[in-house]
Structure 1
Amino acid sequence: MLTRKQHELLSFIQTRLDDSGISPSFEEMKEALDLKSKSGVHRLISALEERGFIRRLPNRARALEVIREPESLGAKAPARVDGARTVAARAAAPAPTPSAAPRAANDVVEIPLHGRIAAGAPIEAMETNAILPVPAALLGAGEHYALEVSGDSMVDAGILDGDFALVRRTNTARDGEIVVALVRGEEATLKYLRHEKGRVRLDPANAAYDPQYYDANEVEVQGKLAGLLRRYH
């Protein structure tokens, strides 16, 4: 069963695809659903993808496809979003069957490259329109993005300055996992996640750096490290 916001987003995406053949941007989805930040859109997209209602199309940035519609849409349509038509009339149509063929080892997927992230003191991670081609074999299920690593505080984990961190978008993680942590809503850093005495501890992988301690409400997990890309000059 989908939440109201998930219904609204699914309807908005389908309407845009029907009207223009192009899925809406995250900024457009944020404004259409009256959300405060794009992170809310990312969470809704991830939930819809995990439940099999949408999928990301390979080799195309920001491309989404609606592959299934909830049965409840046929009985009660979700609220209209920005005047968009609902997809209730389409609920009875058979859902397309996703291809079950495995990706070839040399397949390339384009994922968003969202600026630089600190592996040291937190720095701002800016969203950009840049795209990074990544071998599909490096990515698992879910939505991914890339960040260029700045700093040396994660060198003992094999993460070097100038590497590209491949990140699976999620807002939850277990202790001991390497995460992208947004600190105080402004700065992002790549660290091991730990919880200690009701606080969040972000641990480096370099003895020259000290752990960073924050109140739980000051840290938001925005993804988990899924892989690395490195260029040799």
Structure 2
Amino acid sequence: MLTRKQHELLMFINDRLQAGGVSPSFEEMKEALDLKSKSGVHRLVNALEERQFIRRLANRARALEVLRLPETGTAAKAPARQTPIIAAANDDVIELPLHGKIAAGMPIEAMQSDRTLSVPAALLGASGDHFALEVSGDSMIEAGILDGDYALVQKCDTARDGEIVVALVDEDEATLKYLRRDKGEIRLDPANSAYTAQRYAPNRVRVQGKLVGLLRRYN
């Protein structure tokens, strides 16, 4: 059984997701429910999560997904165009260096750009240095990563199996793929059944960062 405020917040989040695939910020939640502070929103969100009406998506800081609605107890209908990053419930915005398109054939360190991309801090999650890359192509569409999206990447030189990374192959070509270690080789897996995995000796592949967020603009 939900309280009146919990029910109002759940329906507000669900309505926003259905309308545009993006949930409201904590500030918008606060205003919609006429609360005095964001701490009240945090308590309501935590209560809804504990009761399994919503969940925060793993590795997507404060991204919210509605699991079910109280009227029926059934799963909520997914937004028409759901993206890997559903919501950023944080009002802080930072400027990330915006390098060229991923798979542009250059090491990240060699990319020089005075362009930046304004990004909600909540999309980054983990601390550390970050940069953005424009996605080119359709090799990751089954992971919800589309041509023209902006990949938000945390700089690192190691990653776990199954993570999406920016991998530099032969110090020449950067690509965005799932990282796997298989029989002494590095396997870079696409998320598109029309493409095949790429296999390399470990010394040919260098991890330059891992995907922590995705930004999509609708024109």
Aligning the two structures, in what range does the TM-score lie when normalised by the shorter sequence?
0.5 to 0.7
Distance 1:166 1:226 in 2: 6
Amino acid at match of 2:95: E
Distance 2:136 2:112 in 1: 16
For the residue of structure 2 that corresponds to 1:217, the secondary structure is: helix
Residue 101 of structure 2 is aligned to residue 116 of structure 1: yes
Map Cα deviations across residues 44-78 of structure 1 (whole Å, 9 max, x no partner): xxxxxxxxxxxxxxxxxxxxxxxxxxxxxxxxxxx
CA contact (8 A) 1:138 1:227 kept: yes
Distance 1:218 1:129 in 2: 30
Aligned match of 1:170: 156
**Shift of residue 123, structure 1, vs aligned partner:** 3.4
Residue 116 of structure 2 is aligned to residue 131 of structure 1: yes
**Shift of residue 130, structure 1, vs aligned partner:** 1.2
Aligned match of 2:171: 185
1:83-94 alignment to 2 at 5 Å?
none
Distance 1:127 1:204 in 2: 27
Map Cα deviations across residues 147-168 of structure 1 (whole Å, 9 max, x no partner): 0000000000000000000001
For the residue of structure 1 that corresponds to 2:135, the secondary structure is: strand
Aligned match of 2:190: 204
Distance 2:141 2:100 in 1: 20
Distance 1:158 1:123 in 2: 23
CA contact (8 A) 1:113 1:127 kept: no
Amino acid at match of 1:109: I
Tell me the TM-score normalised to structure 1 length.
0.52
Distance 1:127 1:182 in 2: 16
For the residue of structure 2 that corresponds to 1:220, the secondary structure is: strand
**Shift of residue 105, structure 1, vs aligned partner:** 2.1
Distance 1:196 1:174 in 2: 13
How much is the aligned-residue C-alpha RMSD, in angstroms?
Answer: 1.4
**Shift of residue 199, structure 1, vs aligned partner:** 0.9
CA contact (8 A) 1:201 1:213 kept: yes
Distance 1:143 1:230 in 2: 21
